[in-house]
Amino acid sequence: MVIGAAARVAIGGCRKLVSSHTSLLLVSSQCRQMSMDAQSVSEKLRSSGLLRTQGLIGGKWLDSYDNKTIKVNNPATGEIIADVACMGTKETNDAIASSYEAFTSWSRLTAGERSKVLRRWYDLLIAHKEELGQLITLEQGKPLKEAIGEVAYGASFIEYYAEEAKRVYGDIIPPNLSDRRLLVLKQPVGVVGAITPWNFPLAMITRKVGPALASGCTVVVKPSELTPLTALAAAELALQAGVPPGALNVVMGNAPEIGDALLTSPQVRKITFTGSTAVGKKLMAAAAPTVKKVSLELGGNAPSIVFDDADLDVAVKGTLAAKFRNSGQTCVCANRVLVQDGIYDKFAEAFSEAVQKLEVGDGFRDGTTQGPLINDAAVQKVETFVQDAVSKGAKIIIGGKRHSLGMTFYEPTVIRDVSDNMIMSKEEIFGPVAPLIRFKTEEDAIRIANDTIAGLAAYIFTNSVQRSWRVFEALEYGLVGVNEGLISTEVAPFGGVKQSGLGREGSKYGMDEYLEIKYVCLGDMNRH
Ligand code: NAP
């Protein structure tokens, strides 16, 4: 039994505490009241075969070559949940080789055959949604209800692309010469490297793997070292569904080594990444020597714009949802709340009252709406941003400090009188802090909203149809919610402009990211 937070030390490239054995280390919570303790959750997961600690390479569950492991802990309690294999260059090369081999047979299946496998995977994800949700709460911290919601959302990409697999149409082009016939085929790109973050341990993977497998690609997934358990459980269900050996591999551990192996291999034809803008830029540069296709889902700095003519309740509810989901740790979280002069004070009061009602606690406790932040570095970042804003004249309405629960819990916070010289106006807060910025005119709102290098999500609250059209057309963002704070769905394209990324995920557009276009010209067609 191991109790206590894992020390963050660098050994062999794995950032967390590393040990030489791979056994599962289970502890029960002694620090905090939980409605369902970690022990019973872990037992259930183990008995369903979903608590995996090895990497998946070529259809086999494997330790790392040097037996190094990495500890995964529960951010709400610091308890160590499991020791998982800490992999690097060698294991990634093995995974690439197995994916490359599997590509030949997987890509030659009919779309209908691949579709059936994906459909079975979807059914299994849904059948295990409680356990998967518990796993997400255990390693990521979000409230169980939200975690189960992520499972449904994550699984929806597998269902959607099971259906979409059958709709990859080519084209017949009217020829330029009478003895020619011209056609276009859409074919799978090849082996895909998929690197994903910790904030949505399942959905960020299925959003990539769904369209990749559906189109006939094979994949090497690298989940975050902070949340590998959900990825491994999903992969176990993929195997049960009939995804063949090598078509889906999972390696985790030394991120730079795994990244380098994926990026330098000429066999990997595409890199798809969700994570920070800084890492995304590095990966994009490193993909250049082998001219890989690249899709990037990076950071945001979303404005939520509340106009004088907004319905106050709708604006409060929508901004609350956009800001505080996952304790503010999503790329589409409202990062700046822009409020027009005439409604500013009323909105500040009503919004703060709503934020006051949020329940901070362990994700397993009934009623919790705000879990912990992922780690102490995340809390320190939030603290720095808040101190900076206050030192430059912003005023805290509620919150503004670590929560009395300790660990990485932070009080849901509303700050008013925030201006554009403060760090939180410019950078992603990634925590439960809502800065209120005052504006006078529609033109001001658009200018402030667009004054950022990011361009992922934006939200508008107004009762004027004309205004909403003017503003959403002018916003330099990939996604816009009008009178709505939760807009992500598998049927619509998700992605950013400017430095928030390249490409789209979800919807019919998400499939294109995994397809190459081949033009075929048939000549000498008039010969009998
Ligand atoms: P991150 O630090 O960039 O990490 C993302 C992934 O990249 C993790 O798997 C990480 O591995 C890996 N990684 C880190 N350095 C690497 C390297 N040198 N080579 C290869 N891989 C490397 O981001 P995060 O903190 O996990 O996630 C939060 C960020 O993701 C935020 O900026 C958020 O806005 C963004 N995000 C964007 C979207 C979107 O759709 N646009 C969605 C969700 C999140 P380890 O964790 O193992 O180190």
Listed in sequence order, the DSSP H helices in 165-226 are 203-215
Query: How would you class 441 by CB atoms within 10 Å of its CB: exposed for 0-12, middle for 13-18, buried for 19 or more?
Result: exposed
Catalytic residue flag (residue 131): no
Measured CA to CA, the distance from residue 178 to residue 520 in angstroms comes to 15
**Separation of alpha carbons 497 and 508, rounded Å:** 18
CA–centroid distance, 394 to ligand 1, in Å, is 30
Alpha-carbon gap, residue 73 to 43, rounded angstroms = 16
Place of tokens 């290098």: 453
Cβ 410 vs Cβ 385: under 8 Å? no
8 Å CB contact between 414 and 316: no
Beta strands in 462-514, from DSSP E residues, in sequence order = 479-482, 501-502
User: HEC states along 60-89?
Assistant: EEECCCCCCEEEEECCCCCCEEEEEECECH
Ligand 1 and 429: CB distance under 6 A:
no
Domains (range + CATH), the chain: 48-298+505-513 (3.40.605.10), 302-489 (3.40.309.10)
Task: Determine if ligand 1 sits within 6 Å of the CB of residue 91.
Answer: no
Tokens 């308890």 belong to which residue? 79
Chain mean position to CA 473: 26
Q: Are 497 and 513 in contact (CB under 8 A)?
A: no
Contact 261, 96 (CB under 8 A): yes
What tokens does 113 get? 């055959």
- pLDDT value of residue 14: 55
* Residue 196 beta carbon below 6 angstroms from any ligand 1 atom: yes
Question: Do the beta carbons of residue 397 and residue 339 sit within 8 Å?
Answer: no
Query: Is residue 141 left, alpha or beta, with left meaning phi > 0 and alpha meaning psi from -120 to 50?
Result: left
Q: How far is the CA of 429 from the centre of ligand 1 (A)?
A: 15
**Could you tell me the two tokens for 389?**
């804003």
Query: How many residues can be counted in the chain?
Result: 528
Q: Are 478 and 455 in contact (CB under 8 A)?
A: yes
CB of 226 shorter than 6 A to ligand 1: yes
Going by C-alpha positions, the residue among 326, 496, 329 that lies closest to residue 429 is 329
Q: Per-residue pLDDT tens, the chain, 528 aa: give them.
A: 232 333 333 334 555 544 433 333 333 333 444 445 677 887 888 888 999 999 999 999 999 999 999 999 999 999 999 999 999 999 999 999 999 999 999 999 999 999 999 999 999 999 999 999 999 999 999 999 999 999 999 999 999 999 999 999 999 999 999 999 999 999 999 999 999 999 999 999 999 999 999 999 999 999 999 999 999 999 999 999 999 999 999 999 999 999 999 999 999 999 999 999 999 999 999 999 999 999 999 999 999 999 999 999 999 999 999 999 999 999 999 999 999 999 999 999 999 999 999 999 999 999 999 999 999 999 999 999 999 999 999 999 999 999 999 999 999 999 999 999 999 999 999 999 999 999 999 999 999 999 999 999 999 999 999 999 999 999 999 999 999 999 999 999 999 999 999 999 999 999 999 999 999 999 999 999
Q: Whose CA is nearest to atom 42 of ligand 1?
A: 331
Residue 4: per-residue pLDDT = 31
Active-site residue, from 139, 150, 159, 297: 297
Question: What is the Å distance from ligand 1's center to 287 Cα?
Answer: 16
DSSP 349-363: HHHHHHHHTPPBS-T
Q: What is the DSSP letter of 243?
A: P
298 CA to centre of ligand 1 in angstroms: 8
